[in-house]
Amino acid sequence: MLEHLILGFRYECTANLPINVDCGACGDTRVPSLAYDLTETPMLFHCIPILDSNRSTFVKCGNCGAKLMSTLSCEDLRNCHESDLRHFVSFRDSFIVKCLAIISLLICIFPFLGTAFAAVTWFFARKSPNWVRTAAVIAFVISLFPLCIALVGVALNEFK
Ligand SMILES: [Zn+2]
């Protein structure tokens, strides 16, 4: 709580650029999408910049809404030929979603908790074309076995 009062981030979105991309998340090709540069500046007390700004470029897929990473800035994307864009724009799962997927695999044997966690992970990873969604689905399916055993156990206890 205190660290949120002391340290904050200023986000600045600049250079919106309409481009057509092949989306790695939904698999659609030549989707009319929007590229933007996002500048992130760490701020002391939310008003004093303490480190250099970090600029990243993202492309929001116009079809599925997935946030694709670009290794080129909007300015460079503007000068890039459409057929070369796939080399620079790709889908990457966030670090948090990757962690959720690993944790859901580790705790899927626990009834109720494992199923709930895997379901939440599956929801957040639903647009991922990578191993993350597969891991979430596997964790969810595995978690159904201990859940069924626990439910049968509860039911048998009720009818004793
Ligand atoms: Zn898409």
Enclosing domain of residue 103? 95-158
Is the same domain home to 99 and 154? yes
Among 63, 90, 117, which residue terminates a domain?
Answer: 90
CA of 60 to the centre of ligand 1 (A): 8
User: For residue 66, which amino acid is it?
Assistant: A
Say how many Å lie between the CA of residue 29 and the centre of ligand 1: 9
Distance 9 CA to ligand 1 centre (A): 28
If asked whether residues 12 and 64 sit together in one domain, one would say yes
Report how many domains make up the chain: 2
**In 19-130, where does DSSP find H-type helix?**
74-78, 95-107, 113-124
Domain boundary, last residue among 62, 90, 118: 90
CA of 84 to the centre of ligand 1 (A): 18
Same domain, yes or no: 15 and 86: yes
Percent of the chain with pLDDT over 70: 97
Tell me, what's the pLDDT at 42? 83
* pLDDT tens digits, 125-159: 887 777 889 999 999 999 999 999 999 999 998 88
pTM, to two decimals: 0.63
Taking 70 as the threshold, does the pLDDT of residue 3 lie above it? no
CA atoms within 13 A on the CB side of 132: 23
